[in-house]
Structure 1
């Protein structure tokens, strides 16, 4: 079932109380303090309050589903008003309800049981008091938790992380297009190398990051609801004639998730490990971009556009520090530390169940939050860059020796075509260029003495470093989107 066609899953445009407004007065972590504004959208999906709202959502939809499937004798057909009322428990979940649920949990000392009681309190008002036993029917806590986390993770990725990644990619694409035809000296191993264009080098990152985004867009979000050890034992004890695997699959799919048909007590979390590995890989590629941009800034290939009124350095007025890219680097590293840890720990569970995943999954929002913060900084940082054409051109013009590759390759081609006297082309160019600067005149003099065909000699004499960029410009334009 397409997630886009799902009618019961919570969505960004659904009329519900925002959870992001409850900002803590004093925050322990940077994401809930200094950087709250950049990551606030994640609060509606991956905070503790969002987890509880999603638990209520899953419990309510399971209640509705059981009635709709008529799995037990005597279950009524719910009216549309009753269904709306049940779903209203979810959409009205705000600060007062958070506090109420917290008080119930203080008594139960069990978060999922507190959700069950929270819903049960509201059934009388909907004329459904006699169906209180149907809340959390045949469920273990993990039946509710795995689905709640899957919904929250899906919505966080699709509604927050992916839009942030696409926005950063759009900015990077624009830069690649803008600089597609700007010739630039390459540096392999930190040494002057065959020229490229600045846009082509940026487009490489656009292409790499875009590929990861497409993988993440195809991510499956798995869920199960099959009881204490994945056997449907309680379900069959209560209703032996019901097709419980089919009922479970239909329910999971109404939530916009992919059904996992075989598990222990827990949904195996493999999909989470796959997702976090892909996001971490995206982060690592983005980290490489930040390092390269920072390095280009340091040698003057990019000028940073000062922000009005901003201080670049506390003591050196001439400086504009590349703090957006430095901040992004640090947050990408923190994000990956958490995502890597989650990916490795969540795929293991002792025998049929342990609770290591319970603590681990509460850090998903933090792991994604540092990535979202990094993306925000990259997007802002890219807007503050201006290509320093004159600096890039001067750097390229002072390295004519990079044409040695072109000359020795033409010599090889001419030799294959039957032109004599062109032996040892690589060695002859190495003797001319290695460890010394060669200007245009010396190269032209060298070419004139080689005995090339007239056409080849004329071509090389007119070749300049800024023309020796191959297909870089067209590649940049092709892959910048």
Structure 2
């Protein structure tokens, strides 16, 4: 067994270096600059790059630095910590500048510190203390900053810094990047729905011909569903805590018993633009994250439904794809094809995003007793989950922009489906019977016998209507009806998008 395992290990190593004995390949893992392992940081980087400012490891560290700086400023300006020096405007500006100037050199320096500390948050603390030690040269010799190093991270557990950092970065990623893209897509879809509100289209329930509608009404249904989820996302709470190792303010109360630490904590968290959570263990429970990710995941699934419907309408010929908008080869072997790749790519990315978001939501709400570290690795995948959704949004928007409506194709299908008027005729017969008309018995059964499983043309349907003995006004109304005009209130329903 050991020899077999050894052989397998050797084969794996050889496979990385060469495809066959005697051949060696360049090790892609050793190239500089490093090659991305995943598609979001490789092939699709340009689309998801805005998320790097919020959900990358570097962005997380910048947010941690921001929280540490803000906590230092808060303690020294509120009087919460007796004996702490008063910071001048120049001191505060210097501290804020440490955060604002956090770039490539600082990222490298922080990584170097972390290699020594083996602890990411502790590395941020030491990084900030270095900047405090150097403050006199920038602010002046009278600055108290070089002497306040022990205030940095005071009363904090790592989770005090982390939970606030994640709340800030997720909030900004959603509000500044994902939500504007999602709102723009929903707006595009609503505009298309209004433009096609009166374009008649054959419905297909269970894939079978059914009562006609309009293209705009069907698109409006999806636009309204997307907007509903976006309203939920736009009002999401982003919660935070600052209460110590087990959420009891233990170190705070024993060290400085005269300070109202709950008030200090609340004012600090709310000052960051977050909702204060007064009841936590060592960690903020992350329930708000689970709620947010569920809403984004549900949005993804509604958008997935749009993709499959539009894909089907393309296959039916109701939409034509402009080749210039696709900007790509349709098929590597069939030159006539323009594939609906934008919608297919979006489907796949939405599925990946929702799977990750579902996992995040399910995992983050559980932490053993007062703390475990399962959330640490889990939360590092938030950017991946939202990134795949953002990529899908880009694909769908570009896909919709490349479509032209083929009303003639829809009209041909309607003209071939006069049997769908059977519903209108039998319903009119029922209404006439209720109103006192004679000879209207068993309307459903009579229409079923004549139309189920059969193609009925205009002449056949009109002959049927004329032979039913309907009241004159009802007969005239039905004889004037066509599949294209049997759309009920569909066009006017689109106006609900403006409610």
Range into which the TM-score falls when normalised by the shorter chain: over 0.9
What is the rounded CA distance, in whole Å, between the counterparts of 1:451 and 1:298 in structure 2?
41
> Which residue of 413, 427, 432 corresponds with 1:414?
432
CA distance in 2, matches of 1:267, 1:478: 40
Match of 2:107 in 1: 98
Would you say the 8 A contact 1:226–1:248 is kept in 2?
yes
In the alignment, what sits opposite 1:476? Answer: 494
- The structural deviation recorded for 1:477 is 3.3
Structure-2-length-normalised TM-score: 0.91
Aligned to 1:466, the other structure's residue is in SS state coil
Where does structure 1 differ by over 3 angstroms across 4 or more consecutive aligned residues? none
Q: Once the 2 structures are TM-superposed, how far is the Cα of residue 450 of structure 1 from its aligned partner?
A: 1.2
Partner of residue 287 from structure 2, selected from 258, 270, 276: 270
Q: Of 438, 442, 447, which residue of structure 1 is paired with 2:465?
A: 447
Post-superposition CA distance 1:343-398 (Å, at most 9, x none): 00000000000000001000000000000000000010000000011101101110
Measured at CA, do residues 185 and 24 of structure 1 come closer, stay the same or move farther in structure 2, by a change above 3 Å? farther
Aligned match for 1:131, one of 144, 148, 155: 148
Within the alignment, does 1:331 sit opposite 2:349 as a pair?
yes
Per-residue deviation, residues 209-259 of structure 1 (Å, max 9, x unmatched): 000000000000000000000000001121101000110000001111000
Q: Using the alignment, how far apart are the partners of 2:466 and 2:118 within structure 1?
A: 88
Q: Which residue number in structure 2 is paired with residue 122 of structure 1?
A: 131
Decide which of 79, 95, 104 is 1:86's aligned counterpart. 95
What is the CA–CA distance in structure 1 between the aligned matches of 2:147 and 2:286, rounded to whole Å?
A: 36
Say which of 232, 243, 251 aligns to 2:249: 232
Deviations 1:279-304 (A, max 9, x none): 00000000000000001001101000
Calculate the aligned-residue CA RMSD, in Å: 1.1
Conserved in 2, the CA contact under 8 Å of 1:400 and 1:464?
yes
Deviations 1:110-137 (A, max 9, x none): 0000000000001133231111000001
Equivalenced residue count is 459
Q: Are 1:203 and 1:480, in contact at CA under 8 Å, matched by a contact in 2?
A: no
**Relative CO higher for 1 or 2, CA cutoff 8 Å, sep ≥ 6?**
1
* Distance in 2 separating the partners of 1:167 and 1:381: 14
Match of 1:424 in 2: 442
3-state DSSP of counterpart to 1:49: helix
Is the CA contact 1:208–1:285 (under 8 Å) kept in the aligned structure 2? yes
SS at match of 1:447: helix
The verdict on how the C-alpha distance between 1:35 and 1:150 changes in structure 2, with shifts beyond 3 A counting, is same
Aligned mates of 1:480, 1:80 — CA distance in 2: 48
Tell me the distance in 1 between the aligned counterparts of 2:82 and 2:478. 89
| Helix, strand or coil at the partner of 1:426 | helix
Q: Is the 8 A contact 1:24 1:32 kept in 2?
A: no
**1:59 pairs with 2:68:** yes
Q: Residue 389 of structure 2 corresponds to which residue in structure 1?
A: 371
Report the CA distance between 1:175 and its aligned residue.
1.2
3-state SS of paired residue (2:336): coil
Q: Distance in 1 between matches of 2:33 and 2:153?
A: 32
Match of 2:310 among 282, 293, 306: 293
2:15 is aligned to: none
1:397 to 386, 403, 415: 415
**CA apart distance, 1:480:** 6.6
Query: Mean alpha-carbon deviation: is it higher for 312-321 or for 329-338?
Result: 312-321
Q: C-alpha distance in 2, partners of 1:322/1:449? A: 47
The alpha-carbon deviation at position 25 of structure 1 amounts to 3.9
Q: Deviations over 1:449-477 (max 9, x none)?
A: 11111100100000001010001011123
The alignment status of 1:462 with 2:471, answered yes or no, reads no
Deviates more, 1:31-40 or 1:444-453: 444-453
Residue 467 of structure 1 aligns to a residue in which SS?
coil
Partners of 2:436 and 2:314 lie apart in 1 by: 47
The one of 324, 334, 349 equivalent to 1:307 is 324
Which of 233-242 and 68-77 deviates more?
A: 68-77
Q: Secondary structure at the match of 2:148?
A: helix
Task: State the match for 2:19 in structure 1.
Answer: none
Match of 1:256 among 255, 273, 297: 273
For structure 2, list consecutive stretches of 5 or more residues without a partner in the other structure.
1-31, 136-142
TM-score of the aligned structures, taking structure 1 as reference length:
0.94
Greater CA radius of gyration, 1 or 2? 2
Equivalent of 2:159, from 135, 142, 157? Answer: 142
Any unmatched runs of 5+ in structure 1?
Answer: 1-22
> Separation in 1 of the partners of 2:314 and 2:33?
37
Of the structure 1 ranges 353-362 and 168-177, higher mean CA displacement relative to structure 2 is found in 168-177
Range with greater deviation from structure 2 (433-442 or 103-112):
433-442
